[in-house]
Amino acid sequence: MMSKKKKKTLIIVSIIVLLLITLATLILLYIYTDSFKSNSTLFAKYMGQNVENIGNLYQKIGESEYNKLLQENKYVTNTNAKVNFIENIGKTSESTQNPINQLTLEIKGQTDKTNEFNYQDIYLLNNNEEVAEVEYLQSQNAYGIKFSDLFNQYLMVNNENLKDLFRKIGYTDEQLENIPDFIDVNIDLKTIFNFSEEEKEITREKYIEIINSNISKENFSKQKNQIIKIDGNDILVNGYTLTLTKEQLNNIYIKVLEKVKEDEIILNKINNLQTIIEQYDKSTNLSEQFIEKINQKIAEITKNNIGTEKTNIIVYENNSKTVKTIIETPDYEINMELLSNNKENYMKVSYKDTTSSKDKGQVIEYKKTANETNASYEKIDGEDIKKYILTTNETVENTNCIKDILAIYEDNNNKVEITINQNIALVDNFENDIILDEKSTINISNLEEEKLKVLLEKVNTSLSAKIQELKENVIEQQDLIEILKTIGIVKENQVIETIGITETERNRYNSKFEILEGQNLESTKIFTILEAIKDNLVGYEVVSGTELRLNIDRYENKQEALTTLNTFFEENKNRKYNITIEYDETTGLVNGILVTILEK
């Protein structure tokens, strides 16, 4: 029979063991479940999951099994592309007579990524009749093109020593600065911006800490066992809400932006991209631009940081996974949905203006599943409504894949539809192998300077004649430009240069700059000139202590250059100037404006 002392010891031991088990259970419940955690802690947990969930889900969606097969196998493609342009929709003058509607682009391809081989045979059809053919070829480090109805040989170039090649063509030292020695064709932007698990954790903790240290627990609340719809499905969730005034939200926003400016992880990603861009453009500094944009945003927030309007940030979780996040402000609403399981991978992000003004606003939506992508943008400005829609759908059957792409632009008057249908099939061997030998190719990388220039002059002459023929018999350049202007790719006052540009087109483009020339001009005239060229101003160079060269481009502009020059001329508004126009030696088009600062 057990003594009283032993009984007492056993009871104490039992109590201690029970307490230890209870304590261990509570610790495990705290670590692995949401029990006993505060609303603020749970909000931070599920808000932070968004960073990881988006990365993981996008990777799952983007890296399909079929895409992996294309990396490892030979495959052939057959692609068909058409444009349908409808003018004056709904009016008696509605028309589909634009010549571009009669055109079809057909592409037949052979690709073997393992052996670095890619061949594309491109046909342009007008009313089903072939009017032009171009063949593209990559064979390991050599790239070529053949204008099939003009020449019998591929013009090949080696992807190496490109500066030497362009020097032989006639590029100046200044132009060669932005020519790389080779072009990196294997750039993977997903890899550049990929965050490691450690980086994700550091980033999550860094920014969640800003929220935790600047918000009271009273700002958080919980909604248990709610039913919400995601992709048409009823999902049982718990919701965690953070409610802030406009001033509270903006104060946190500013702290986050200040942290981003010095975030080494983010800045390193930008520097990775900078390394790639510097191969082609050494004048752009992405880090400086990034920080400048942040400073501008901080200044904008600080200037308007007054108000008691409420903002709600709601995070919904299902089975300890974030499935939906909503940000509701008086000005806009952002909605993000994420589902990832064995059955489906689904992501949807939307943005819409919620201002009191009903005649202005925009709605943006992006939705992606394993086989389908939908992106849309709608802008409302009074009665003027513009819509952009892009839809991609993939259907995979065994070793074949059908990819359908539909792009739509629509406004009050016009509609442009671009349809692309592509069939991809894995093959063991190509039916028609492309033979590369001295008879079928000319490698211009190996030509002497004089022979190279003679060849390129011959090619340019033949191409100019071919393009002029297409303009006269197939489609006028202006018809194409009108479509590009309609969908916003080309600005109203922009002139497009093509190979074989006519003298009329060249004169029209140059005239808008030539009228700016003058001597002994007041500074007020300079500001007028900057306004006139802002759509084509891409930069400037200091030629000497009294000379600036404004660089002109036919296709783009850079706002930073305009801002800097406006500031400079404002500081020198008591000076006078001479303006001289400069031209590209090859095209005869204006490519620069020389500003000479006169002595006071």
pLDDT in tens, 296-315: 888 888 887 777 788 888 88
Burial class (CB in 10 A: 0-12, 13-18, 19+), 66: middle
Of 185 and 61, which is predicted with more confidence? 185
Rounded Cα–Cα distance for residues 215 and 506 (Å): 62
Strands 154-158 and 441-443: parallel
Give yes or no for a contact between 499 and 460, defined as CB atoms under 8 angstroms apart: yes
Query: Whole-model pTM above 0.75?
Result: no
Strands 518-522 and 537-544: unpaired
Average pLDDT, the chain: 80
Phi first, then psi: what are they for 369, rounded to 5°? Answer: -120, -175
Is it the case that residue 343 has pLDDT exceeding 70?
A: no
pLDDT-derived band at 564 (thresholds 50, 70, 90) equals confident
pLDDT in tens, 365-375: 988 887 888 99
Helix (H) or strand (E) holding 543: strand 537-544
- Write out the two tokens for 282: 């050494």
SS (H, E, C) 81-135: EEEEEEECCCCCCCECCCHHHHEEEEEEEEEEHHHCEEEEEEEEEECCEEEEEEE
Rounded Cα–Cα distance for residues 5 and 11 (Å): 10
Give yes or no for a contact between 122 and 136, defined as CB atoms under 8 angstroms apart: yes
pLDDT in tens, 142-161: 899 998 888 888 889 998 88
Is it the case that residue 410 has pLDDT exceeding 70?
A: yes
- Write out the two tokens for 201: 């954790």
For residue 149, CA distances in Å to 105, 157, 599 come to 16, 20, 59
Is it the case that residue 62 has pLDDT exceeding 60?
A: no
Least confident range of 284-288, 405-409, 452-456, 487-491 = 487-491
pLDDT-derived band at 19 (thresholds 50, 70, 90) equals very low
Is it the case that residue 496 has pLDDT exceeding 70?
A: no
Integer distance in angstroms from the first to the last C-alpha of the chain?
A: 117
- pLDDT for 93 equals 78
For residue 442, CA distances in Å to 144, 290, 438 come to 9, 44, 7
pLDDT mean over 469-482: 75
Give the list of residues 6+ apart from residue 496 with CB closer than 8 angstroms, or none.
477, 481, 484, 490, 554
% pLDDT > 70, the chain: 84
Phi first, then psi: what are they for 76, rounded to 5°? Answer: -115, 150
